[in-house]
Amino acid sequence: MVGREFTGSTSGIDTAGKRVSEEAAAIISAALMHVPFDGWSDEALLAGAVDAGIEPEHVSVCFPSGPIDAIAAYIALADAEMVAAFELLDKKPEKVHLMIRKLILLRLEQASAHKEAVRRAATLLALPINAGQSARTLYRTVDAMWRAAGQQDTDFSFYTKRATLAAVYSSTLLAWMADTSSDMAATEAFLDRRLKDVARIPQMTGPARSVFAAGQKLAEGIVGGIGRRTGR
């Protein structure tokens, strides 16, 4: 759910049937400095448009549903930047759970300059009225992580893996927002403890998988429904 200033190279990506235009990306990038003071609001987006040299009336065109649309675009752009940074690594981890670890840490490192904006986005997404948007953006993020790690499909369950990673990423994001250290050591330690679940999935035996799947049933239903609506 996080990102930094965005360049034109990440614009034009598809998010739930819409594309994040260069204009929308420019508004978001410029608005980030206003969000800590004005929140994810119309005022912050209008100020971002002015700073980016974009006509204020274009804000409603770029974000028809207002700030919640801007947050969704912000997250989609952050997904693209995370994957791009991972693909540029000279040496990627060989094990899947370590790839996931690296992707999550890249995401948080890229967000470090705008921690308050991330916190404010999380607060807005936590409102009951935004539950659907929150679930959709979380699904897309973890799906992007699994696919970047080479998991185009799964040997166990497409949705179980994504539901598990959704829990890992969400809890780690909360830990990161509470982490006041400069080196993210506490966040990394927290993440490593959570990743034990991800590391266990490919090695699970039949009976163990059945038990694990039962515990994931509700989450799979939520994530699976979202995946079908977004075309995975």
Q: pTM value?
A: 0.80
Residue ranges and CATH numbers for the domains of the chain are 8-229 (1.10.357.10)
Look at 17-21, 26-30, 152-156, 189-193 and tell me which has the smallest mean pLDDT: 152-156
**pLDDT tens by residue, 74-90:** 999 999 999 999 999 99
Confidence of residue 198 (pLDDT cuts 50, 70, 90): low
As a whole-number percent, the residues of the chain with pLDDT over 90 amount to 59
pLDDT for residue 219 is more than 90: no
Look at 5-14, 82-91, 106-115, 153-162 and tell me which has the smallest mean pLDDT: 5-14
Note the pLDDT of residue 11.
Answer: 47
Using the structure block, give the residue that is written with the tokens 């952050």.
78
**pLDDT tens by residue, 105-134:** 999 999 998 999 999 999 999 999 999 999
